Amino acid sequence: MPPFVKFMARRLLAIPVTLLVITALLYGIVMLAPADVRARLYMPQGQSNNPNLTERMVQQIIKQHGLDDPYPIQYARWLFRLFKGDWGWSPQLRGDVLQALLERTPATVELTLYSVLLLVPTGLVCGVISGWRPDSPADYGFRLVAFVATSIPPFILALVLLSVFYVGLHWFPPGRISISDEFVVAEQSFRRFTGLLTVDGLLNGRFDISLSALRHLVLPAFTLSLAHWATLGRVTRAAMMEVRSKEYILAAQGRGIPRQSIVWLHALRNAMIPALNSTALSTASLVMGVFVVEIVFSFPGISQVIATSWVYIPDAPIAVGFAVYSVLLVLPIMFVFDIIQGLVDPRIRQGVTEQ
């Protein structure tokens, strides 16, 4: 079997194994609560704290849902329902958990997508320029901005940006679209092709909707990508500083190859390997951090589900479903970057190094 195929097979096999381990741990945490406590979560809102609630009702719920069964049986039953698409019913949302998550996924995907499109090119370019000419004014400027970017917590940065660009200048509003645009999006004539308003607006010929969606994405996308931009830029800078002293770079310079070709074709290609690893980790971390940014900017993504479902009483189905759904978002992203890494890194294709 070719080394690249073996590498991809191992990475592909790791996805279900990782999913099983994480879901087992998540359900194990839920199982730490006594059966009668978990039974009260199935009660309609307001009844779990009702003093007239009898022990007989609790026992009926325990028996009906098998809450006193051994852990392996409960976990297998829950996992089977999970794969069937039955993620449970949320008493707070009064609806199916999976349906509630899927309805809000396009907003989260759109925000994450534009954040990645913002951080990856700019992080690579800044890292290349800074690493190729260390201790230059551009290098000092990048290092200063990167230090500040990694020092400010995202929610603090979000509040500052809202204060300046929304409250003060009225340039970039929070949320997803303006109130006037909501009526257009709700019309039957506005077709939802992808769920991404920036794309669907173009496909419907409504450039005003796309522009409005982009204006609402500026602040959250910048907030979400800033720290990861700094990390990617630093990794790329370090890789470029190491590559620029290699013999093949000095040989290319001696042959009179233009500097731009040496930097962007020869040096960057070899510096891309550690940069890709950093991009994969940054993207996974970005997916996890998107929920905090969504809450601060009132962005109606997946975080809206977990934020609203725990306002009054705990909602175990939505909490576990939210955690599993987050893992399902991250694992495919990591696998895609593994494929890219395998295509870029010749050591993997030749089986020189074990991954």
Min mean pLDDT across 52-56, 281-285, 304-308 is at: 52-56
**In percent, how much of the chain has pLDDT > 70?**
88
Min mean pLDDT across 75-89, 123-137, 172-186 is at: 172-186
The pLDDT value given to residue 146:
92
| Cα 19 to Cα 11: distance, rounded to the nearest angstrom | 13
104-350: CATH topology: MetI-like fold (1.10.3720)
- Reported as a pLDDT band with limits 50, 70 and 90, residue 41 is low
| Cα 39 to Cα 37: distance, rounded to the nearest angstrom | 5
What confidence tens digit (pLDDT) does each residue in 298-317 have? 888 888 787 765 555 556 77
The pLDDT value given to residue 355:
42
The pLDDT value given to residue 180:
60
The string of DSSP letters for 99-157 reads HHHHHHHHHHHHHHHHHHHHHHHHHHHHHHHHHHSTTSHHHHHHHHHHHHHHHS-HHHH
Q: Is 49 a residue whose pLDDT tops 60?
A: no
User: Is the Cβ–Cβ distance between 235 and 131 less than 8 Å?
Assistant: no
**Which of 192-196, 265-269, 277-281, 282-286 is modeled with the greatest confidence?**
192-196
Q: Is 248 a residue whose pLDDT tops 90?
A: no
Reduce the DSSP state of residue 89 to 3 states and report it: strand
Which regions of the chain carry the CATH code 1.10.3720.10? 104-350
| Cα 95 to Cα 160: distance, rounded to the nearest angstrom | 36
Q: Which residues pair with 96 in a beta bridge?
A: 89
| Cα 182 to Cα 209: distance, rounded to the nearest angstrom | 9
Helices (H) and strands (E) in the chain, counts: 16, 2
The string of DSSP letters for 17-63 reads HHHHHHHHHHHHHHHTS-HHHHHHTTSPTTTTT-TT--HHHHHHHHH
Tokens of 302: 């997946």
The pLDDT value given to residue 328:
86
What confidence tens digit (pLDDT) does each residue in 203-240 have? 888 888 889 889 999 999 999 999 889 988 998 898 88
